[in-house]
Structure 1
Amino acid sequence: MNFVSIIITCYNDALYIEQAIDSALNQTYLNKEVIVVDDGSNKETKDVLKKLEPKISKLITQENKGQSTARNVGINEAKGNYILILDSDDFFEPTFCEKAIAIFSENNDVKLVTCDANLLYINGTTDVYRPIGGTISNFMYANAALGTSLFKKEDWERIGGYDESMRKGFEDWEYFIRLLKNDGICHVIPEVLYSYRKRNDSTTSKANSIKYDLLNYIYIKHKEIYIADFDNFVSKMLERIKIEEKEKIKNFKKSENKFLNFLKKIKLQFKNLKN
């Protein structure tokens, strides 16, 4: 029977880590272990992890080295032939592992299994994100899967794990590019089996603030696939520039209107003072 190792990396997440661990332990797929990697968390988080340690298979503590290194450390210690990544502030529905393993068993071309996700915003609203999955062509210009997905440990070993130099985001996407670059597909379970918290201080939010540096790194690292797709690459880049130019114009007009309204208010206040 296939064995699943669920790897949870944690950095200063005392508030949500227990829910993440419980969602791993409560998977209906029984042949599993849960490994938590504490990536140099604060005392509050360490106290919570110490309390939770008896519930899990292994707790690994290290100095802060970033998410990629923490994941590689956890996977290296894993006994499973399948690896499921889970972020410490998110959680899975109980049937994800069971359904994902079944898909691997049915199709030898599958290298990655992901699912639809419930997005939880800090203002209390929610939305559903539906990744498209597919082959490498679907992953070249944007991530087409959740970073927290299921893959085989042997594939992780084959491609050299997560890029530990990527400490500022997009490491999931870059890993999936290498995973699918030569062959294989990402299968998306069309069910909401994951909940993802959209936080202002999340790794994804921080990555978006420096996305051009990260894109530059990915495009150069994997330049052979972008050179082979050069015509489409140029079209994609020009389309992205066009969209961003439109957004700049729209934001400028908003700022201009705000400034004009501010001037009107000031003018009205002076008029009232004269009267």
Structure 2
Amino acid sequence: MMKPNISVIISTYNSVEWLKKVLWGYNQQTYINFEVVIADDGSIEETKNTIDTLSKKVKYSITHVWHEDNGFQKSQILNKAIVACKAPYIIMSDGDCIPRKDFIQVHDTYKEEGYFLSGGYFMLPMNVSNLITKKDIESNICFSIDWLSENGLTKSFKNNKLKHTGLKAKFLNFITPTKPTWNGHNASGWKKDIIAINGFDERMQYGGQDRELGERLVNLGIKSKQIRYSAIVIHLDHPRGYANKESWKINNGIRKNTRSTKVNTTKYGIVKK
């Protein structure tokens, strides 16, 4: 098999119905020389069985990276997935984010040495999330504002994320007040840069661990580009039982130290120092 130019890391945990939709989304990509590495934070056997079945049906290769369930340890499993990536360039997203068919192509087009890319997501309500079928993903209709509106989506300025492509999307990337940060649901960068900062800080549980990785990339001298209106994923709704105030408090303290000391690596990452 040809070595992939891009590795896509998808994080997941016991959410097979959403993961199926996401993996079908990657099967529609216009860019074809990529692999998917699934960072599985301890799911039960059902997830493995689903991945094994879909691996035989999709056009790309899937590597399933798993560890035993020990609570929310997303940073740990992401580090293992980073090591497993075969390509020099990595896109990170989540198992609840269906990519539009040009998603990987956009990341490939904008990638540049010395930069990471910052994308966003388009949040769907639960009723619409449940409605989307494999057929809707294959036809790309689930990215149509008209179709989404017919099925209950309310009007919002954020709908521009799905309305515009090309130059209009570039213009919106340029004028948005949202800063380009590393977002776990939609960001990409060079594997060598991510390795240089030692990946994710494994002390961090839920709440900003992706942003902290981006802050260390910036401290390393890596710049960021905004592509939130060009690289599109639709985010399926779900409960967030893993969120808690204590982890946010710990993570905010680590991030504050990263920004104030300008540290560009961590002792608690891929390599334990």
TM-score category by the smaller chain?
0.5 to 0.7
Residue aligning to 1:41: 43
Does 1:180 find its partner at 2:182? no
TM-score, scaled to structure 1: 0.67
Aligned partner of 1:223 among 254, 257, 260: 260
Conserved? CA contact 1:133–1:186, under 8 Å: no
- Give the stretch that moved more between structures: 160-169 or 189-198: 189-198
Does 1:191 find its partner at 2:191? no
Aligned partner of 1:95 among 88, 99, 102: 102
Conserved? CA contact 1:133–1:144, under 8 Å: no
Following superposition, the deviation at residue 116 of structure 1 comes to: 4.0
Q: Deviations over 1:29-83 (max 9, x none)?
A: 1211112233211243333223223343322332135211111111111110000
Amino acid at match of 1:217: I
Counterparts of 2:258 and 2:221, CA distance in 1: 18
Q: Percent identity?
A: 21
Residue aligning to 1:80: 87
Conserved? CA contact 1:37–1:60, under 8 Å: yes
Counterparts of 1:100 and 1:26, CA distance in 2: 15
Comparing both structures, which one devotes a greater share of its residues to strand? 1
Cα distance, 1:182–1:207 mapped onto 2, change above 3 Å = farther
- Greater length-normalized contact order (CA 8 Å, ≥ 6 residues apart): 2
CA RMSD of aligned residues (A): 3.1
Conserved? CA contact 1:53–1:59, under 8 Å: no
Cα distance, 1:28–1:87 mapped onto 2, change above 3 Å = same
Report matched runs for 1:93-242 at 5 Å: 93-105=100-112, 108-110=113-115, 112-122=116-126, 124=128, 125=153, 128=158, 144-147=181-184, 148-189=186-227, 190-191=229-230, 193-201=232-240, 206=243, 210-225=247-262
TM-score, scaled to structure 2: 0.67
Q: Deviations over 1:207-253 (max 9, x none)?
A: 56753332123213443259xxxxxxxxxxxxxxxxxxxxxxxxxxx
Counterparts of 1:23 and 1:33, CA distance in 2: 13
Aligned partner of 2:63 among 40, 58, 66: 58
Counterparts of 1:63 and 1:37, CA distance in 2: 12
Cα distance, 1:195–1:207 mapped onto 2, change above 3 Å = farther
Give the number of aligned pairs.
214
Conserved? CA contact 2:18–2:236, under 8 Å: no
Counterparts of 2:106 and 2:51, CA distance in 1: 29
Mark the structure with the bigger radius of gyration: 1
- Secondary structure at 1:16 match in 2: helix
Conserved? CA contact 1:3–1:32, under 8 Å: yes
Conserved? CA contact 2:74–2:205, under 8 Å: yes
Q: Deviations over 1:4-51 (max 9, x none)?
A: 011122211111111112222332112111122332112433332232
- Secondary structure at 1:64 match in 2: coil
Residue aligning to 2:17: 15
Conserved? CA contact 1:2–1:82, under 8 Å: no
Residue aligning to 1:270: none
